[in-house]
A and B are shown apart, each in its own frame.
Chain A
């Protein structure tokens, strides 16, 4: 093999490796994007509903339904479906703005990860994912650790966890996995490289039977050699001085 051919082969292999890296980043970003989308559902739908099904005697509302969003919005409806606007709580706009900004930043950082190779893209994506993960986890922890007793004695109170709340929990898991996939190869460089090599070896062995068959066909002296026999040995024997 001439020097030019060796350089061409080397650059082809480099191109392949770069394409593999791009594919990996794209897969990671897609996974993170799913997490962001799942979290985004909580901006629209409430995550928790408190309903009083059995009204007390003399209660003019005849029961009520309190819908709570992960970002703090609270709306109370009577059991007749009338909005009780006398309810006043903390203004949730600041937290909604924060949630939207953080999710948009996370999506932008994932796009940066795909487009910008190397450490800078990774770090940008890690910041976006970390912010999103902490914000979404914060509201999940807030919901899970909420103590019903703080609402005072309410007979007939039923707590309902909505679908959006479960999507939010799944989002925390997906975002955490994406962040781990990004961070673990950096933090545990040795073990992850060893694992990667082992996986590559296993894949190679899975491909080996096909290569064996092709080689056996090649070993038999035949005028019309098997067409698949040329590409596999060309990798293994190219460096041989013979």
Chain B
């Protein structure tokens, strides 16, 4: 089915884009995505620096780099790691084409990761919109997105592209299957056309009721004394 649906380039395009998107999220696990520094305008000395990770870790240092605070958020970190691993497994299953559910698994896991990444990107975007001007207090506040933050923002866009690719190619596949089913002769064609890419084997619902009646065995005994 996969070979009919996609050409050699199309076969690797979707999983490739998805894999790149997942890789782009990985730096945000290790590096901060947002950085803020407060310095004295007159003397130019650095009063404090603050780093924030997308999964909630906040690290603050004071004068001369003395660490004032380093709070981790292990639950959010665990959620992100689980989502990343799940997305990798889903994309690998889809790329291997050995399992029927690979496309569905890739889609769900990538959608979950996309939702998570979009949330942190939107959070960061709001942070840059709500910049506080500290000019009057004689302090210079400089805040910026780090490289990991930029990569994560790009990842959000690439993840959305990957999701669109998966759904678009699935729709194409459905049409191809439907066409094949209507061309095929025999009684199975009607079932195939009705359920272009259904989840159950064709004709399963037709087979079930006679089997269940035969199992009881009662009608025959009564009818043939």
Instruction: Name B208's contact: one of A117, A145, A197 (CB within 8 Å).
Output: A197
A126-142: CB near B (< 8 Å → 1, else 0) gives 11111111110111011
B63 within 8 A of A: no
Asked whether B107 is an interface residue with its Cβ less than 8 Å from the other chain, the reply is yes
Chain B interfacial residues counted at CB < 8 A: 70
Q: Which of B111, B129, B174, B212 lies in contact with A134, CB distance below 8 A?
A: B111
Chain A window 164-195, contacts with chain B (Cβ cutoff 8 Å), 1 for yes, 0 for no:
00000000000000010001011101000100
Let me know if B167 and A120 touch, CB within 8 A: yes
Taking CB atoms, residues of chain A closer than 8 Å to B223 are: 215, 219, 233, 237
The answer, among A90, A93, A208, A239, for a CB contact under 8 Å with B216, is A208
Tell me, yes or no, whether B200 is within 8 Å of chain A by CB: yes
Q: Please determine whether B126 and A88 come into contact, CB atoms closer than 8 angstroms.
A: no
B174 touches A118 (CB 8 A): yes
Residues of chain B contacted by A120 (CB below 8 angstroms): 167, 170-171, 174, 197
How far apart are the CA atoms of A219 and B107 in the complex, in Å? 57
CA A183 to CA B187, docked complex, whole Å: 29
How distant is A93 from chain B, measured CB to nearest CB, in Å? Answer: 6
Contact residues, A106-154 vs B (CB, 8 A): 117-120, 122-124, 126-135, 137-139, 141-142, 144-145, 147, 149-150
Is B222 at the interface (CB under 8 A from chain A)? Answer: yes
List of B residues within 8 angstroms of A89 by Cβ? 130
- Provide the residues of chain B in CB contact with A185, threshold 8 Å: 199
- Assembly CA distance A187 to B103 (angstroms): 10
Closest to B93 in A: A187
Find the residue from A138, A185, A235 having the highest chain B CB count within 10 A.
A138
Q: Does A228 contact B (CB under 8 A)?
A: no
Q: Which of B107-163 contact A (CB under 8 A)?
A: 107-116, 118-120, 122-123, 125-127, 129-130, 132, 163
B104 interface residue (CB < 8 Å to A): yes
Are B208 and A10 closer than 8 Å at their CB atoms? Answer: no
Report whether A127 and B219 are in contact in the complex, using a CB–CB cutoff of 8 Å.
Answer: no
Please state if A193 and B71 are interface contacts (CB–CB under 8 Å): no
Which stretch in B15-23, B37-45, B75-83 binds the other chain? B75-83
List chain B residues, Cβ under 8 A from A215. 218-219, 222-223
Question: Contact at A126–B171, with CB atoms within 8 Å?
Answer: no
Contact: A138 with B122, CB < 8 Å? Answer: no
Chain B residues with Cβ below 8 Å from A118 are: 174, 195-198
Q: Which of B71, B174, B201, B222 makes the CB contact (< 8 A) with A216?
A: B222
Task: Tell me the complex Cα distance, A10–B202, Å.
Answer: 13
Asked, given contacts A98-B118, A135-B118, whether A14 binds B191 with beta carbons under 8 Å apart, the answer is yes
Query: Is B56 an interface residue when CB atoms closer than 8 A count as contact?
Result: yes
Please determine whether B73 and A145 come into contact, CB atoms closer than 8 angstroms.
yes
Can you add 6 more A-B contacts, CB < 8 Å, to A14-B194, A91-B130? A93-B126, A118-B198, A145-B56, A147-B71, A189-B100, A215-B222
